[in-house]
């Protein structure tokens, strides 16, 4: 874990000190947004009334939206678990030898997963996470603040972060700008605004989060003074503040964006697209040149109706032509080549989901595999800095609110399944199918030693189904077997009685 960070200075002072190190990253993020989606990363001085210049090409915007959508689909698939709960290794070893005990524990953990997934789908966090993934693609950095009411997002120009040499977070300072009318009562009292301040007077509130060596500490500050009553302490792994990078650069506090890697192609395509559009507009303008010494009268041509005859010579009037066709073809060919490269990089050429139908598990698996091939190690860092911290803080807060059983720390740990295995328990189903097929090839001896009840339960968990109401328990199965045997015995006795009675009625013959 990160080394101890003691707040030797206030939140606002820390923010301004670390702001100088952050400014180059925000400048690059603004430049990348200009070529993709300008409103995605506005300048700090921009407001809702700011008019942004629309790029001449749409490849950047389409690429950001497409890549963010595919990352969201692979990392947080709808109605599919992107994580699983697992017991600690020591506890798992203790129950592994128990008959069916491990299966029962897995069923309980699967039930906990369903509670978390139900909260996730109903909390609205998915919307904010998608917005955050777009920030990662375009700006490379984003900060989330987790609450039961919703997930709050901070763009890079609204927070600073400090990391140690291993990349572990030491300090986070987030800046919120409120109006006087929207300030909470405790913050309004601490703001010490003048009585003549209007309701629209802006107030900057700084939230300082730092690691003290054992826990995360946080407090809020206004005007250089800490606000009493805003102090909070979070155990390791349970902080609601989640800073995320798209890529890890050793020795840097912030990451780099995906768009930044292709900034040269995007800038070239923007300039070429602008030139082509402007030249096309010039070429589409129709202007006629008239020979002043010719016999054709322009006035008669203008007044002539459709299909009428006018005296004149064709060579007296000619349209203006640019004679730049070959030059424009060179520009268009270059632009097409750049667009093809960008389309491949942003995965615009891959269409896997069928229109008008639901997304299947195989389609999600295809997207995950393609992202793994295209983005390489992006999955690894997003797992460590986004998925895993998110599910840990969600679990901790749901335990606090009694939505989940309050388990001791270290007993159960969430595990994120990444890459092709990001389909949750569907990967286990493939293993189970292969296992059963292998047993079949070994013959009846191996098949007879299979605990079929546990296999059925695990298949149901892999499919995300609650099999408790579908499959008989061991006791129910034993009772059903006894009832079947008793019915068979009763039927056999009745058949024998009927046979004996029939035999008695047959007359004896000599």
Give, for 480, the enclosing helix (H) or strand (E): helix 474-505
Residues 50 and 151 grouped into a single domain = yes
Please state the length of the chain.
Answer: 510
Indicate whether 310 pLDDT > 70. Answer: yes
Q: Share the mean pLDDT of the chain.
A: 82
Indicate whether 163 pLDDT > 90. Answer: yes
The reported pLDDT for the residue numbered 423 is: 43
Residues 460 and 490 grouped into a single domain = yes
Residues 293 and 147 grouped into a single domain = no
Residues 279 and 248 grouped into a single domain = no
Residues 293 and 199 grouped into a single domain = no
pTM of the model: 0.75
Residues 18 and 94 grouped into a single domain = yes
Residue 127 lies in a domain: yes
Residues 241 and 268 grouped into a single domain = no
- Could you give the dihedral angle defined by the CA atoms of residues 460, 465, 468 and 470, in that order, rounded to the nearest 10 degrees? -80
Final residue in a domain of this structure, among 320, 345, 370: 345
Residues 213 and 174 grouped into a single domain = yes
User: How do residues 188-235 score in pLDDT, each as one tens digit?
Assistant: 777 777 666 677 778 889 999 999 989 999 999 988 888 888 899 999
| In contact, 178 and 203? CB cutoff 8 Å | yes
Residue 60 lies in a domain: yes
Final residue in a domain of this structure, among 243, 261, 279: 261
In the chain, the number of structural domains is 3
Residues 141 and 239 grouped into a single domain = yes
Indicate whether 420 pLDDT > 50. Answer: no
Residues 418-451: b if buried by 16+ CB within 10 A, e if exposed = bebbbbbbbebbeeeeeeeeebeeeeeeeeeeee
Residue 384 lies in a domain: no
Q: Give residue 145's domain range.
A: 11-261
Residues 106 and 181 grouped into a single domain = yes
DSSP classification of residue 384: I
What does the pLDDT average to over 299-328? 87
Residues 43 and 151 grouped into a single domain = yes
The reported pLDDT for the residue numbered 422 is: 46
The reported pLDDT for the residue numbered 468 is: 64
Residue 283 lies in a domain: yes
Indicate whether 387 pLDDT > 70. Answer: yes
| In contact, 387 and 75? CB cutoff 8 Å | yes
Least confidently predicted of 135-144, 176-185, 331-340, 369-378: 369-378
Residue 355 lies in a domain: no
Final residue in a domain of this structure, among 292, 325, 345: 345
Least confidently predicted of 140-144, 257-261, 449-453: 449-453
Residue 357 lies in a domain: no
What does the pLDDT average to over 268-280? 93
Residue 373 lies in a domain: no
Q: Band of the pLDDT at 463, cuts 50, 70, 90?
A: low
Residue 359 lies in a domain: no
Indicate whether 130 pLDDT > 50. Answer: yes
Residues 90 and 60 grouped into a single domain = yes
């Amino acid at each position: 874990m990160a080394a101890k960070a003691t707040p030797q200075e206030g939140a606002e002072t820390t923010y301004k000190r670390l702001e100088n190190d952050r400014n180059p990253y925000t400048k690059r993020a603004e430049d990348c947004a200009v070529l993709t989606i300008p409103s995605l990363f506005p300048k700090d001085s921009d407001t809702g009334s700011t008019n942004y210049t629309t790029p001449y090409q749409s490849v950047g915007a389409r690429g950001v939206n497409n890549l963010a959508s595919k990352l969201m689909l692979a990392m947080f698939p709808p109605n599919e678990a992107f994580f699983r709960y697992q017991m600690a290794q020591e506890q798992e070893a203790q129950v592994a030898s128990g008959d069916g005990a491990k299966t029962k524990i897995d069923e309980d953990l699967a039930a906990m997963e369903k509670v978390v997934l139900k909260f996730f789908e109903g909390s609205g966090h998915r919307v904010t996470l998608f917005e955050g993934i777009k920030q990662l693609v375009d700006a490379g950095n984003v900060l989330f603040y987790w609450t039961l009411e919703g997930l709050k997002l901070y763009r890079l120009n609204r927070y600073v972060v400090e990391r140690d040499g291993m990349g572990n977070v030491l300090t986070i300072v987030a800046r919120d700008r409120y109006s006087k009318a929207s300030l909470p009562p405790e913050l309004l009292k601490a703001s010490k605004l003048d009585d003549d301040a209007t309701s629209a007077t802006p107030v900057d509130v700084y939230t300082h989060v730092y690691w003290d060596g054992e826990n995360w500490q946080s407090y809020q500050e206004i005007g250089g003074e800490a606000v009493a009553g805003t102090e909070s302490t979070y155990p390791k792994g349970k902080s609601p503040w989640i800073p995320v990078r798209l890529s890890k650069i050793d020795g840097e506090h912030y990451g780099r964006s995906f768009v930044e890697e292709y900034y040269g192609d995007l800038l070239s395509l923007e300039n070429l697209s602008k030139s082509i559009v402007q030249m096309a507009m010039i070429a589409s303008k129709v202007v006629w040149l008239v020979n002043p010494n010719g016999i054709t009268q322009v006035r008669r041509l203008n007044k002539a109706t459709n299909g009428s005859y006018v005296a004149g010579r064709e060579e007296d009037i000619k349209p203006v032509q640019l004679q730049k066709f070959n030059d424009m073809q060179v520009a268009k060919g270059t632009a097409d080549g750049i667009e093809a490269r960008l389309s491949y990089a942003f995965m615009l050429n891959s269409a896997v989901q069928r229109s008008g139908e639901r997304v299947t598990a195989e389609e999600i698996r295809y997207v995950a595999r393609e992202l793994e091939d295209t983005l390489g190690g992006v999955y690894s860092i997003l797992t460590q800095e986004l998925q895993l911290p998110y599910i840990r803080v969600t679990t901790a807060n749901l335990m606090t609110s009694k939505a989940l059983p309050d388990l001791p720390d270290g007993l159960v740990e969430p595990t994120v399944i990444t890459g092709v295995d990001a389909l949750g328990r569907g990967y286990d189903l493939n293993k189970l199918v292969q296992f059963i097929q292998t047993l079949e090839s070994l013959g009846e001896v191996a098949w007879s030693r299979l605990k079929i009840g546990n296999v059925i339960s695990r298949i149901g968990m892999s499919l995300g189904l609650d099999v408790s109401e579908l499959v008989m328990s061991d006791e129910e199965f034993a009772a059903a077997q006894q009832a079947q045997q008793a019915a068979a015995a009763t039927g056999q006795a009745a058949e024998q009685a009927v046979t004996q009675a029939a035999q008695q009625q047959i007359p004896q013959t000599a």
